[in-house]
Amino acid sequence: MQRDTVWIIDGAYLLKAAPGKFDFMKLKREIERECGAALSGTYYLNSVSTEPYDAQDAFHDWLQMAPPHGPNMHVQLYGLKSMRIKCPNCGGTFDRTVQKGVDVGIATLILKLAAQNRYERLVLAAGDGDLADAVSYVKDDLHKEFWLCGYHDTISGDLQGYADRVLWLDDRWDAIKRIA
């Protein structure tokens, strides 16, 4: 049976946890192959610097392009915030820039699309256990199928516990890596 499937991506997770550079077009085709059909929607969420950055803007524009020119993703961008961190070893402090709003945006999108009955299967590329409550609701109460997409040792056990299937990208690296 063919199921409507959406793929929701935490861009920072997918890019930073990767063992190298991958090709979004190859990755999308690999997920569609695993699902047995084209995705009914793909959503990329990430934080961006408030300073204009041409390469970053071009990348986000490319993500939205239709095939064969791009992977045809809906892109939602959020800001960054500065956070003061205290080092547990030396006691010194430093500023670190972190995402602002991406996890809430992902959780909201998971719930919104499920409530609109836009999918039967959710493929989530994220590792943060903070998303477990949203996943639990759509899986247990709305009876949606839930797949995880990510790298070994980077996905919270809280999310893995809900997964009907995990697409380990490390195991598919040869199929998705970017060739220079």
pLDDT tens string 55-84? 888 999 999 999 999 999 999 999 876 777
Q: For the whole model, what pTM was predicted?
A: 0.88
DSSP H stretches of helix in 65-156: 102-115, 132-136
Q: Picking from 33-42, 43-52, 68-77, 125-134, which range would have the lowest pLDDT averaged per residue?
A: 43-52
- pLDDT cut 70: percent of the chain above it: 94
Domain that holds residue 52: 5-176
Beta-carbon count within 10 A of 39 CB: 20
- Structure confidence at residue 12 as a pLDDT band (50, 70, 90): very high
Q: Give the separation between CA 98 and CA 105, rounded to whole angstroms.
A: 15
**Residues whose CB falls within 8 Å of the CB of residue 16, separated by 6 or more in sequence, listed in order:** none
Q: What is the pLDDT of residue 1?
A: 47
- Domain count along the chain: 1
And the tokens for 96?
A: 């670190």
Please, which residues bridge with residue 155 across strands? none
CATH of the domain at 116: 3.40.50.1010
Which pLDDT score, from 0 to 100, does residue 2 have? 56
Q: How many CB atoms lie within 10 A of CB 166?
A: 15
